[in-house]
Amino acid sequence: MRIALGAGQMRIVRQLLTESLLLAFIGGAFGMAVAKFGVRGLVALSPIGLPRADAIGLDTPVFLFGLGLTTLIGLGVGLIPALHASRSYPHSGLQEISPRTTGGHQRTRRVLVAAEVALAVVLLVSAGLLLRSMRRLFAVKPGFDASSLITMQVQTSGHRYDDDNVKRVFFERSLEQVRRVPGVVAAGFTSLLPLSDDQFGTYGALFENDRPEGGHNVFRYVASPGYCETMGIPLRRGRLLDAHDGAAAPPAVLISESLAKSEFPGQDPIGQRVHIGPMDRPWYTVVGVEGDVKQESLAVMQPDAAYITIKQSWFADDALSLVVRSAGDAATLAYPVRNAIWSVDKDQPIVRVTTMRELLARSASQRQFALTLFEIFGAVAMMLAAIGIYGVLAGSVTERTREIGIRAALGASRGDILRLVVRQGMTLTGVGIGMGLVGAAAATRGIVSLLFGVSRLDSTTYLSVIILLALASAVSCWVPAWCAARVDPAITLRAD
């Protein structure tokens, strides 16, 4: 009508570009507002230790980038339909239904919606794989009983603790005082606390039947008698370390179950000898086998370990981690346990006070954060795909009103029309899912390092995503299909 009244091509292009830019600007402004609060929420959910987490936020360059991006999107999305509309013929535009419009616009919209569905598949598959991975990770047994356990690191400082014997006496007296605290069931010291990011705890271990160039890298746990009982680490064979394993006693060692199986398959390791530490040190005799413990994280399989007592270690550690098992809530013992240690020496620092349950959760925090991100992106992608399918079908129903009216006049039932529209939407979904599955198979290579116990081609995840998107698409198809089924053929044909 505008062209028939004398509007030129540039006038039509300017009008449609203005509308497109206005929509892009409104959407971009709303998106920036959501991003401002969304970034704060994600930072709050970020794992402890995330580099420069406090510096993450929206600033002027980011805002200008977002504004420029929405402007380019508005120009790009609006330019093609604007040029197409400016070349339209007045007589076809004045018709109730234009075949040119119905065909060209529908094809473009269908391609875009199929691409939205494909992107949703990629993100939902990634989120699904991470979710299944997290469930597998949390199902992994850490090798100890984390309930009712509180831990803290006790350090020694000052020149009077330069002597190793003075350090050993301090830790021994501190442990005696802690065990007297009401509510303490058991307590023990260790040089290497599981899941605590403790480092420099790996040493070479050489058994008598090993070749000189062989041996094992093991975690060296210097532990007080009672540590394994306090942690709830199961004894598989032999005995535990006790107070009789002192400096004057024969050197005794506990080894982990995995180390015993790899070194002595089908044999009894009790009584075997192993060398740990400097070559001038005496050999240790294996007196027991302990269950495997997750040291670095729940997802890392490095269980080989050796336990020796504090008095039989070739040097005294400057800091040891105290673990305390309580009769009730472990967190309530933090204050009295610290006071018990300070009763021995009030000048020694006590840091890293936490519960073992918190350490367990922190071990999986990075995967949990990645899962949260993918869940958000996947939900947004699925919502966009559903909206896109609804928009295409709603526009298609509007443009095909005359056709639907004729079908109804010729005897098509409401069920036939419903199936017609739903089939169109589900076809788009099927094409998008097909493209998305191929994209997901390639894109998930980038998250393989975050997966645990789940293949990146896990069939359960892919099938669940297909069903989820199919259901969301079916819901999106229903409203425009129902509107199409209610078209009155008499009104439609009269308007024509």
Across 192-220, average pLDDT: 77
At 96, list the tokens.
Answer: 């109730």
**Residue 352, CB half-sphere, CA atoms under 13 Å: how many?**
17
Reply yes or no on whether the pLDDT at 8 is more than 70: no
Does 111 score more than 90 pLDDT? no
- pLDDT score recorded for residue 96: 47
Q: Where are the beta strands (DSSP E) in 156-234?
A: 184-190, 202-207, 216-223
- What is the per-residue DSSP string for 346-387? TTS-EEEEEEHHHHHHHHTHHHHHHHHHHHHHHHHHHHHHHH
Task: Please report the pLDDT score of residue 151 as a whole number.
Answer: 95
Burial of 355 (0-12, 13-18, 19+ CB in 10 A): buried
- What's the confidence (pLDDT) of residue 78? 73
For residue 494, name the pLDDT band (cuts at 50, 70, 90): low
% of the chain beyond a pLDDT of 70: 86
Q: What is the mean pLDDT of the chain?
A: 82
Convert 249-269 to b/e letters by CB count within 10 Å (16 or more is b): eebbbbbbbbbbeebbeeeeb
For residue 169, give Cα distances in angstroms to 181, 224, 344. 19, 12, 10
CA distance 7 to 11: 6
- 260 has a pLDDT exceeding 80: yes
Instruction: Give residue-wise pLDDT tens across range 282-294.
Output: 899 999 999 999 8
Which of the given ranges, 301-305, 462-466, 478-482, has the highest pLDDT on average? 462-466
Distance of CA 7 to the CA centre of its chain: 56
Of 135-149, 161-175, 390-404, the range with the lowest mean pLDDT is: 390-404
Q: Which residue has the tokens 């890298």?
A: 217
- pLDDT score, position 149: 94
Q: What is the mean pLDDT of residues 231-243?
A: 93
Who's near 46: CB < 8 A, 6+ residues apart? 53, 56, 369
Assess whether pLDDT exceeds 70 at residue 465. Answer: yes
For residue 358, name the pLDDT band (cuts at 50, 70, 90): confident
- List beta partners, residue 151: 323, 354
Nearest residue to 220 via CA among 251, 264, 190: 190
- The model scores a pTM over 0.95: no
pLDDT tops 90 at residue 153: yes
Instruction: Tell me which of 201 and 233 has the higher pLDDT.
Output: 233
pLDDT at residue 97, as a whole number: 47
Question: Given pLDDT bands bounded at 50, 70 and 90, which one contains residue 350?
Answer: very high
Q: Is the pLDDT of residue 262 over 80?
A: yes
State yes or no: pLDDT of 89 exceeds 60.
no
Cα–Cα distance, 313 to 290 (Å, whole number): 19
Sign of CA dihedral 353, 357, 360, 364: negative
Beta bridge partners of 216: 205
First to last CA, the chain: 17
Binning pLDDT at 50, 70 and 90, where does residue 185 land? very high
